[in-house]
Each structure stands twice: as C-alpha cells, then as structure tokens.
Structure 1
Amino acid sequence: MNYTDTVNWMFSQLPMYQNKGQSAYKADLSNIILLADHLKHPENQFKSVHVAGTNGKGSTSHMLASILQEANYTVGLYTSPHLKDFRERIKINGQCISKQFVIQFIKRNKAFFEQQKFSFFEMTVGMAFEYFAKNKVDIGIIEVGLGGRLDSTNIIIPEVSVITNIGYDHTPFLGKSMSQIAKEKGGIIKSKIPVVIGETQEETKSIFRKLADDHSSKITFADQRTDVSSYKSDLLGSYQKHNIRTAVQTIEELTYKGFDISNDHIRSGLLNVIKNTGLLGRWQILQTNPKVICDTAHNKEGLIYIMNQLGTEKYDHLHFVLGFVKEKNLDEIIRLFPKKASYYFCKPQIERGMNAIELKAEFVKRNYKGEVYNSVKNALKSALKNAKNDDLIYVGGSTFVVAEIL
C-alpha cells in the first residue's frame, strides 16, 4: 500500500470519531494497553506532558512544544484532529511524521490490528508513541483526544498533567454536569505527578483538589499564580492569554523536574508557535479588504471568547460562514451570535456534519437571516462577493469547516 491507501485503510477500519461521533467511542483502556504491550511499550521510552481540557488544549500543547524547541529540546507533539493531512497529528520539532513511517508501521502491524479490531484513534496513538520512542525525543507533548480518564493517551506517566478548563462539550460521553466532565478530564491526574489547572472554575475547583489530594499530587491553578501580562504570542486573539498562563505555569513545573528553560526561551517560544509547530486555524487572518478570519472554536465556551474578540474588531458589517457537527446544543450556541449580521450556512464534508438546511432552520426560528450553500468554499465565495472592503468575514463553528478553507 502507498501512503494514501494506508491512511484510507486506517480511516475505514472502524468508526472514526471525526466522522462518526458517539459510535466510535470506546469505554475502556483495554485495547490501548494490549496495543502498547504488542509494541513493547514505547510510551515508557520518552518523557511527556499530558494535556486535557475542553478548550485551549491544542493551542497550549503547541505553545509548550514551541517553548521546548526554543530551549533546544527534541520535542514530539501529538494532537488531534488534523486539518488537512493525517500526518499533522504526529510531529517532531514541527515536522510531520514521514509518509514512509506511516506506511511501514501499518504494514508491520496490520494483521494484529485487524485481528484485534483496534479503532483509528488507538492505532494513531500507538503510531505516535512508537515514532517518538524510535526518534528518541527528549519529551512528547501529548494532547488528549476526548475526555481523559478513558482516552487512549492515558497510559503515559507524564512529568506534568495539564487541564486547561472545563466546559460543556461531548456530553454524551463525559456527562451532562460540570462536575461529571471534570472527573472524566481529571482522570489524567497520576500519583505524585504535578497537575496544572489552567482556569479556576467554582464548579470544578474542589473536584480537582480532591483528585490531586487522592493521588498525592501537587496542584497549581495557573490563573492564580502566573502573571503573563508581559508575554506576547503569534497566536492572535485575547483569549490566548489563558493558554499562555497555562503554558508558562507548566514550563515552571518542568524546570523543577530539571528541564533547562529560560525566560528568553519562553518569550521566543510564545512568539514563534506557528513557525515552530505549524499550528493553523487559531484566530487566523486569511486576508484583508475584506478581512477574513477563521477559528476552530466549536462549543459554547470557545465561541464566547470568539464573540468577545470580534467585539474588539472594527468593521462596517459582519458576515458569518458557519457549519457545525450534529451533536451540538444549538440553542445555547445560536444566542451568542449577533442578529445584525449576514449568515452563510454550510455543512462540513464529514458524516457528522449538520445538514445546512436544518442549521438555517434553527437560526431562522430565532429570527436570524441567512442562506444555505452546498459547500464551505461556496459559502465563503458568496460572502467574499457580498462583503465590502471594510466588512469582516468570520469562518468557523467547527474544526472541519475551517479545514476546508485552509
């Protein structure tokens, strides 16, 4: 099999959460433990940082990788989902995993994978861990895929565990209350491993304190400890200050573990996240006149930050190119959007994508106006045609919408 055949085989093996949603979720770690044993436990062959949270875990992971790269460490970075190419999920010092490694890893293990019926995500986690181990990374930044306690990445014993924040997302799997979701994400807290919580939230603070206490783990709330007013990042958007705080506090914990990271490394790392890691889709300005901005924010809490950020922009008229996945609670999301704007509804090209006609109907019954388009690109094309030079076009609602215009 060539690279395309290999990746298509991985996508087709079992339901993939990116496409299928809830039916792709597995409710225990037995498969990934079996896979790690088969691969001779590559996850034990490199140091790591484990990053969970409802929002900001991707940006925080990339910030951490960039800072560590500036400090001359060889850094593995595992994130999900990808925007354009599967290989974005697995990087070392900003370089995607080689196509040849992907091909050979699957070829070597294909019979075992088929026998055990591993999920796409389990195979990908195993691939990442083996890639990092074989390339002898100094440290791997490992982003949780979904939740924490039962996530396939949760077989590592990291140097630091990180939980950015808690919000209402993926509630069919993680629970319908903040406390239930916090317990699931807090499942990455390990015995005597320090944990950094990005944002102090009244509903979850005591839960994290108890989990840390139960595991004899030092707990730090970054927003209570870290002043980041002097730090700047190339990741635009005022909401990134939360992620900067979390990253800086995590780096401080790593220095206690013997990592040699200076304040200059931190500053340089934060200013060069995109260059060092290739991160895309975070308040990314695609053009000016009219200004087009895209962002992967896809839940209530993330979109609140986006609306606040849009409030700082100057424009004559606002245009929204929007698409969502099916399982979103639209009632609480729609009310965040201004009525005085033009809307262009579209469906991301995945099975989980919400039908654009149904999406428009949900907005219309709440007195919004907009039109339906048969693709994200056509929706954006129409917005560009209608917008004047001093208008602003925002593209988002889903990671998969953003992926189609990058």
Structure 2
Amino acid sequence: MDYQQTIDYLFHRLPIFSRIGAAAYKKDLDNTLQLCEILDNPHKKFKTVHIAGTNGKGSTSHMLAAIFQTAGYKTGLYTSPHLKDFRERIKINGNMISEQFVVDFTKKIQPHIDEIEPSFFEITVAMAFDYFAKEEVDIAIVEVGLGGRLDSTNVITPEVSVITNIGMDHMNILGDSLEKIAFEKAGIMKPEIPVVVGEILPETKPVFEEVSSARKTPMIIAPEKRRSIDWKYNHHLLTVEVSTLHTDEMNFYELDLPGIYQTKNLVTVLEAVHQLQQKGWKISHENILHGLKNVKKLTGLFGRWQIIHQNPSVILDVGHNEDGIKAIVSQLEVTTYHRLHIVFGMVKDKDITTVLKLLPKHAIYYFTQAPIPRALDAGTLKEEAAKFDLFGKSFPTVNEAVKDAIASSEKDDLVLVCGSVFIVGEVQLS
C-alpha cells in the first residue's frame, strides 16, 4: 500500500471515534498493552508529560512542546484529533511523522489487527510511541484522547501529569456529573509523580484530593501558585502579566495564541515547567519566553482563535462544548467588529441545547455540517437554533457557508467559524 491507501485502510478498517462516536471507545487498556508488547514496549524508552482535561489540553500540550524545543530537547508531540492531515497527530520538533513511517508501521502491525481488533486511536497511540522510541526523542508531550483512566495513552509513566480543567463533555462516556468526569481525568495520576491541576471547582476538588491521596500523588493546584493579573493585545500577540504568589515575583509573557482563555492555560504551563525544572530538566526563563511567543511556528498549532483572513476578519476556533463556547463568547466581548457572522456546526453527541443557549443572538448564522456520520444535519441544527432566537441559512458544506459569510460581510465585520473541530478542519485556508 502507498500512503493514501494506508490512510484509507486505517480510517475504514478500524473503529474511529470521530466517525462513529462512542462505539469506537475501548473501555480498557488491554489492546494498547498488547500492541506495545508486540512493538517491544516503546512507551518505556522515552520520557513523557501526560496531559488530560476537558478544554485547553491541546494548547497546553503545544505550549510545553514549544518550550522544550526551544530548550534544545528533541521533543515528540502526540495530539488528537487532526484537522487536515492525519500526520498532525504525531510530530517531532514540529515536523509531522513521515508518510513512509506510517506505511511501514501499518504494514508491520497489520497481521495483528484481525487478532486484536484495536480501535483507530489505539493504533495511532502505538504508532506514536513506536516512532518516538525509534527516533530517540528526549521527551514526548502526550495528550489524552478522551477521559484519562481508560484512555490508550494511560500506559505511560510520565515525569509530570497535567489536568487542565473539568467541564461537561462526552457525558455519554465519562459520566453525567463533574464529579464522575473528574474521576476519569484523575485516572492519569501515578504514584509519586507530580500532577499539576489547572483549575478546581467545588465538585472536582474532593475527587482530585481523594485520588491523589490514595495514590500518593503530589498534587499542585496551579492557580494557588501563580495568577494572571492583567493582559493586553499587541499586534496579534497576547501579553500576560503573571504573579508568582509565594514570592510576589511579576513576569510578562507574550503568546502567539491570542485567545484570552490562554491566560488560564499559561498558568498551568508555567507550573508544569516549574515541576519539570525541579526534576532536572534544563529550561531557562528565556526558553519559556521564546517558546510561548512562537508556539504556532514551532509546533504547527492552529485553530485557536486563529485569524486566517482580513477585511473582513475570518477567525477559526475549535471550541465546541459548554466551556469552549463560553470562552469564545468572552473573547467576542473584547473584540471589535461591526457585524458578527458565525459559521456553525456540531456533532450529534454533544449537548446541543446548552451550547445554543450561550451563542450570541445578534449574530448572523451560517449553519453547516462536516462530512462525517457524527455530524448533526445542518437543517436540523438550524431548526434547533431558531428555538433560541439564532437565525440564518443552512449550507451542505463548510466552505460554501464560509464563502457566503465572507460575501455577505463588509470589511469591518467578523466571520467566526466554530462549533466542532471537524468544522474548523474543513475550512480551506487558501
């Protein structure tokens, strides 16, 4: 098989969550452990940082990768899902895994697929670990796919674990309360391995405390150590003033990820770096400054309040659940524009009602859908949205919706594309 045939095989032979949802989720680590055993346990051959959370884990993972790269470490990065190219999931120093490695790995593992019946995600995790081991990375930043306790990535023993936050998402799999979801995320805690928690709530704090105590996991609450006290925009950079609470030290950081929700992620990243420094990783303040200012260039991250067009402004954001949409709405409140156009689509298994309640009623909507079975029909979404006084037209494809939104805009309008990772992934940047 060539590369395209290999990708087609992986997407159609294996259960994939982005296509069929919960049916692709395997509720144990057995398949991943079997695959790793076949591959001579590659996950034990390099150092890792493990990152879970409802929102922010992707940005946090990329920020940490950029900092490690700047510090001179050969840095692996495993994230999901991808937006355009499968190889976005597996990178070293910002460079995607080679097509040839994907082909060769799939050929090697193919005889075991009928026997083990792994999911698409389990295969990609094993592929990433095999790649990182063979390339001898110094460290890999590994983002949890879904949950934590039973996620395929949870076979690693990291240097530091990170839980960014807890929100209501994937309730059909992780549980219908913040406490239940927190328990699943807390499943990445390991004995004697520090865990940095980016945000605590009255419902989640007792869960984290109970699990960390039972596992003898040192737990650090990031906002109890540092606080973002001020921020401003300057030439598409977000400048954040951070106070270190126990020393009264003040520092300014520039981020090329301009969403104001990054102020929370920044505090989490800084505490994670501090814990890694305590373990002997050589990361200077200058490395942190440079890495944060160049996250997109160093890692290839996109889709986080990403400006892709001017006059009118067209912005992409992968926010797709309650907390993600709240962050987008907060961002809109500090953004200047004449009229607001929102290209919007969702998947069927999200809490549609909660999200629709949050969206701004003054916007003009362009309802659409991604080309996956999980996508919510654009016409159905339009009907549901009307119940919340959200009005607009429906479009069969994302790019038709974007094209119409731009054509209907004046130069000082704002076109926002959001609602699903898969909607953002469809947008043609050229």
Q: Same fold (TM over 0.5)?
A: yes
Structure 2 CA distance for aligned equivalents of residues 188 and 318 of structure 1: 40
Q: Aligned ranges for residues 49-64 of structure 1 at < 5 Å?
A: 49-64=49-64
Q: Aligned ranges for residues 337-348 of structure 1 at < 5 Å?
A: 337-348=359-370
Instruction: Give the residue type in structure 1 aligned to 2:65.
Output: A
- Give, in angstroms, the shift of residue 366 of structure 1: 2.2
Instruction: Give the residue type in structure 1 aligned to 2:425.
Output: A
- TM-score (structure 1 length as normaliser): 0.99
CA deviations on 1:208-248 (whole Å, 9 max, x unpaired) are 11111111111111111124521121011111011111111
Q: Which residue does 1:388 correspond to in 2?
A: 410
Structure 2 CA distance for aligned equivalents of residues 65 and 227 of structure 1: 22
1:219 aligns with 2:219: yes
More displaced 10-residue stretch of structure 1: 83-92 or 225-234: 225-234
Structure 2 CA distance for aligned equivalents of residues 227 and 26 of structure 1: 38
Structure 2 CA distance for aligned equivalents of residues 64 and 121 of structure 1: 23
Instruction: Give the residue type in structure 2 aligned to 1:341.
Output: A
Q: Aligned ranges for residues 349-368 of structure 1 at < 5 Å?
A: 349-368=371-390
Q: Which residue does 1:8 correspond to in 2?
A: 8
CA deviations on 1:344-386 (whole Å, 9 max, x unpaired) are 0001111111000000000112222110111100001111111
CA deviations on 1:186-228 (whole Å, 9 max, x unpaired) are 0000011000001122210121111111111111111111245
By percentage of residues, which structure has more strand? 2
Partner of 1:182, secondary structure, is helix
Partner of 1:196, secondary structure, is strand
Partner of 2:308, secondary structure, is strand
- Give, in angstroms, the shift of residue 281 of structure 1: 0.5
Q: Aligned ranges for residues 6-405 of structure 1 at < 5 Å?
A: 6-228=6-228, 229=241, 230-405=252-427
Structure 2 CA distance for aligned equivalents of residues 100 and 354 of structure 1: 35
Partner of 1:309, secondary structure, is helix
Structure 2 CA distance for aligned equivalents of residues 119 and 187 of structure 1: 20
- Give, in angstroms, the shift of residue 21 of structure 1: 0.4
**Count of equivalent residues:** 406
CA deviations on 1:85-109 (whole Å, 9 max, x unpaired) are 0000000000000011111011112
- Identify unmatched segments of 5+ residues in structure 1: none
Structure 2 CA distance for aligned equivalents of residues 316 and 131 of structure 1: 48
Q: Which residue does 2:232 correspond to in 1?
A: none
- Give, in angstroms, the shift of residue 114 of structure 1: 2.3
Partner of 1:68, secondary structure, is helix
- TM-score (structure 2 length as normaliser): 0.93
Structure 1 CA distance for aligned equivalents of residues 227 and 22 of structure 2: 39
Instruction: Give the residue type in structure 2 aligned to 1:190.
Output: K
Work out whether residues 321 and 395 of structure 1, in 8 Å CA contact, stay in contact via their aligned partners in 2.
yes
Structure 1 CA distance for aligned equivalents of residues 6 and 40 of structure 2: 23
- Identify unmatched segments of 5+ residues in structure 2: 229-240, 242-251
Structure 2 CA distance for aligned equivalents of residues 95 and 134 of structure 1: 15
- Give, in angstroms, the shift of residue 112 of structure 1: 1.0
- Give, in angstroms, the shift of residue 14 of structure 1: 2.4
- Give, in angstroms, the shift of residue 115 of structure 1: 2.0
Structure 2 CA distance for aligned equivalents of residues 298 and 163 of structure 1: 19
CA deviations on 1:94-149 (whole Å, 9 max, x unpaired) are 00000111110111121112221111111100000010001110000000000000
More displaced 10-residue stretch of structure 1: 225-234 or 65-74: 225-234
- Identical residues among aligned pairs (%): 50
Work out whether residues 13 and 119 of structure 1, in 8 Å CA contact, stay in contact via their aligned partners in 2.
no
Structure 2 CA distance for aligned equivalents of residues 218 and 358 of structure 1: 47
Q: Moved runs in structure 1, 4+ residues, more than 4 A?
A: none
- Give, in angstroms, the shift of residue 13 of structure 1: 1.6
Instruction: Give the residue type in structure 2 aligned to 1:139.
Output: I
Structure 1 CA distance for aligned equivalents of residues 254 and 212 of structure 2: 31
How well do the aligned residues superpose, as a CA RMSD in angstroms?
0.8
Work out whether residues 13 and 117 of structure 1, in 8 Å CA contact, stay in contact via their aligned partners in 2.
no
Instruction: Give the residue type in structure 1 aligned to 2:361.
Output: K
